[in-house]
């Protein structure tokens, strides 16, 4: 099934949940009736993100709080000291039932509501969706079948087809010159958190070892490494000591075996987001009750703001078509709920998308009674470990996408603590290590991270006439469709859509036209 989208255009001047600006938000969006995981992977690599079936892209040089797509490298990830504390805290609770003493403040991961929930979700509910999905699906299926028959008949004539004239068009939203990166390091302002541009803290023991290694290398370049390695090895008479000195891996900290008399039992279940799935269906009511409790307690939502309709539309409806290719992970690709069951009840749910190159975090809701377990941080570490596990099954899946990094919002800067990580350049759509971006972000909310002034968006729309349109039950190139239209404003809308999704997606996805 091809991706089928209905472009809604630019929405500007609405409430921002980050800075509380009443009309500072600006984004472009589209309603996705269906979407392949390949197309969504390409879209998030161009700065898009989904909320239910609504897929949106912030207008970075206009919006009050620029949102940069951030991804972590799970294969190189090493938990920090604070991450290890969270994992050990969970272990102590499971084994002995220990609860952290003192005031339990929400983790940054927990306290910040994701972008679409506040302002955007209110906007989504008002959208005028111009086509019925069931009727549309039948029409599309019929159209695709007829297309296949046409392809079979004309396969021998393909070489003689006239090529479409290329037309290089790149449309930028808004006005203003891009803010180029400035290579000046500035110390974070008080209360803004740790200086993420500096390397993480290291133990004194590690620093001493490094100094000794360098000294030996200077004295004896050829045999320095072997000499140091020999000195570092513990005699075989003390194997247990060697083992205890080895730092535990992320998996070792998460999956440490529990004694039989452990106080609690935690189980994490991966459930496809589908009402046809028996496990998803049977746990729906409990999951929904947890969502309501979370939204009302943590985000102070009113009961009518977090009803069953809102929950279903926001977290249980996904445009992604489930796929199970032979070279993919065992669970397949698509949208899932990662449910955290403690002693037989759900205490947290992580909503994730599993895509060809990444695990993409969508949302997390949890039982506020268990805030002392830092479930936001704990779930992120579990999702990083899960991405590693999926990489073993599908080697191309090697990233963990954490949504948007918002440097101007103190509560959203925590995502930069999961290293190594990259930010997406909003102009050329290349990934840049976060360390190279931070000093520029201290000087300007909006930044172009790509340091090459000559670099352009390689995936930009170059041939808009090749864009695919779904019109009156038929699939056709935009070049054919526009000859039938008289409204000049429609061309500007389609060109804007093409510039935002890029050439590849514009040729694969079907743009619904009424």
Do 57 and 174 touch, CB atoms closer than 8 A?
A: no
Q: What are the tens digits of pLDDT across the range 282-337? A: 999 999 999 999 999 999 999 999 999 999 999 999 999 999 999 999 999 999 99
Q: 269 pairs with which residues across the strands? A: 339
Cα 192 from Cα 342, distance rounded (Å): 35
Confidence of residue 398 (pLDDT cuts 50, 70, 90): very high
Instruction: Check pLDDT > 90 for residue 156.
Output: no
Q: How sure is the predictor about 1, in pLDDT bands with cuts at 50, 70 and 90?
A: confident
Of 20, 15, 29, 5, the C-alpha closest to 500 is 29
Which residues contact residue 165 at a Cβ distance below 8 angstroms, ignoring those fewer than 6 apart?
A: 465
Report strand pairing: 421-424 vs 399-405.
Answer: unpaired
Predicted confidence band of residue 220 (pLDDT cuts 50, 70, 90):
low
Kindly report, residue by residue over 434-473, the tens digit of the pLDDT: 999 999 999 999 999 999 999 999 999 999 999 999 999 9
Taking residues 212-235, what's their average pLDDT? 51
For residue 352, what are the β-bridge partners?
A: 336, 361
| Strand, coil or helix: 245 | helix
What's the pLDDT at 185? 40
Compute the half-sphere exposure of residue 414: CA atoms within 13 Å on the CB side of its CA: 14
Average pLDDT, the chain: 84
pLDDT tier, 246 (very low <50, low <70, confident <90, very high otherwise): confident
Confidence category of residue 485, pLDDT binned at 50, 70, 90 = confident
Nearest residue to 404 via CA among 44, 73, 74: 44
| Res 100: pLDDT | 78
High-pLDDT (> 70) share of the chain, %: 72
Best CA proximity match to 144, nearest among 483, 495, 482, 508: 508
Does 514 score more than 80 pLDDT? yes
pTM for the whole thing?
A: 0.79
Pairwise CA distance, residues 443 & 437, whole Å: 11
Q: What are phi and psi of 33, to 5 degrees?
A: -75, -35
| pLDDT-derived band at 382, boundaries 50, 70, 90 | very high
CB 371 within 8 A of CB 110: yes
State pLDDT tens for residues 333-374. Answer: 999 999 999 999 999 999 999 999 999 999 999 999 999 999
């Amino acid at each position: 099934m091809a991706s089928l989208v209905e472009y809604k255009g630019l929405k500007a001047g609405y409430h921002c949940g980050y800075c509380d600006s009443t009309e500072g938000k600006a984004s472009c969006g589209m309603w996705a009736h269906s979407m392949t995981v390949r197309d969504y992977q390409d879209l998030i690599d161009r700065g898009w993100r989904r909320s239910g079936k609504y897929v949106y892209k912030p207008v970075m040089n206009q919006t009050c709080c620029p949102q940069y797509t951030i991804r972590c490298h799970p294969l190189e990830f090493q938990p920090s000291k604070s991450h290890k504390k969270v994992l050990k805290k969970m272990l102590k609770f499971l084994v002995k039932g220990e609860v952290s003493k003192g005031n339990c403040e929400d983790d940054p991961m927990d306290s910040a509501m994701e972008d679409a929930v506040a302002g955007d979700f209110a906007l989504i509910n008002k959208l005028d969706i111009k086509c019925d999905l069931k009727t549309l699906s039948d029409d599309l299926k019929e159209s695709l079948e007829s297309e296949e028959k046409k392809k079979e008949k004309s396969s021998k004539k393909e070489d003689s087809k006239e090529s479409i004239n290329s037309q290089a068009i790149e449309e930028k939203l808004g006005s203003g010159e891009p803010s180029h990166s400035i290579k000046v390091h500035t110390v974070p302002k008080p209360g803004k958190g740790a200086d993420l541009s500096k390397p993480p803290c290291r133990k004194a023991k590690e620093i001493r070892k490094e100094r000794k290694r360098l000294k030996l290398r200077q004295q004896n370049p050829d045999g320095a490494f072997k000499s140091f390695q020999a000195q570092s090895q513990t005699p075989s008479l003390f194997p247990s000591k060697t083992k205890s000195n080895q730092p535990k891996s992320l998996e070792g900290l998460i999956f440490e075996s529990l004694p039989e008399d452990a106080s609690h039992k935690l189980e994490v279940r991966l459930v496809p987001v589908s009402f046809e799935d028996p496990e998803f269906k049977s746990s729906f009511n409990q999951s929904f009750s947890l969502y309501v409790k979370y939204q009302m307690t943590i985000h102070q939502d009113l009961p009518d703001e977090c009803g069953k309709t809102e929950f279903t539309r926001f977290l249980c409806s996904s445009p992604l078509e489930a796929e199970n290719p032979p070279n993919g992970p065992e669970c397949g690709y698509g949208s899932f709920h990662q449910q955290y069951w403690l002693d037989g009840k759900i205490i947290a749910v992580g909503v994730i998308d599993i895509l060809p190159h990444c695990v993409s975090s969508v949302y997390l809701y949890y039982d506020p009674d268990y805030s002392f377990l830092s479930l936001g941080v704990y779930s992120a570490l579990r999702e990083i470990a899960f991405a590693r596990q999926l990489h073993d099954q599908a080697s191309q899946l090697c990233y963990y996408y954490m949504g948007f990094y918002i440097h101007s919002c103190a509560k959203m800067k925590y995502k930069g603590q999961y290293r190594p990580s990259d930010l997406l350049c909003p102009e050329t759509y290349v990934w840049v290590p976060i360390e190279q971006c931070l000093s520029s972000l201290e000087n300007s909310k909006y930044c172009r991270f790509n340091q090459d002034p000559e670099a352009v968006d390689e995936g930009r729309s170059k041939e808009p006439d090749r864009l695919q349109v779904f019109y009156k039950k038929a699939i056709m190139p935009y070049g054919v469709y526009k000859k039938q239209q008289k409204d000049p404003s429609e061309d500007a809308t389609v060109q804007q859509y093409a510039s935002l999704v890029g050439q590849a997606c514009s040729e694969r996805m079907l743009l619904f036209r009424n």
